[in-house]
Amino acid sequence: MDYKKLINVALDYRNRAYSPYSNFKVGAAVLFESGKIYGGCNVENASFGATNCAERTAIFRGISEGETTIKSIAIVGSLNEYTYPCGICRQVISEFGDESIEVILAKSEDDYIIKDMREVLPGAFKKEALGK
């Protein structure tokens, strides 16, 4: 896995963020099982509940193009500390893969840490719990 490539896509999308209210830009890049990468940025709204996170933007782009399984996701927010996904994004990430999804938290292409979903969302609520 070329982590630097994924991080650079996330950095590029971070620059595209629309965040006039928080001024906190976030970019994400998702590597799907197909090998394709989809990027996304956070998009804020005056009606705060309508705001969408970078992680979900990237995931939904891939899913809308026919992707089904996430292998890795890189997230870049603050360039001074690692930015973890919010709770909703953690749940959405877990919907499209298993506990082995790599979550790459980066400040730059050379400064990053890697977690897996077991660490990021232990005890994730999965569709199997619905009995379907």
Give me the active site residues, please: 55
Q: Where are the alpha helices (DSSP H) in 45-111?
A: 54-64, 87-95
Phi and psi torsions of 21, nearest 5°: -95, -45
Residue 86 assigned to a binding site: yes
β-strands 111-116, 102-108: how paired?
Answer: antiparallel
For residue 103, what is the enclosing H or E element? strand 102-108
CA angle 39, 67, 41 (to 5 degrees): 20
Q: Which residues are annotated as a binding site for Zn(2+)?
A: 53, 86, 89
Q: Which residues are annotated as a binding site?
A: 53, 86, 89
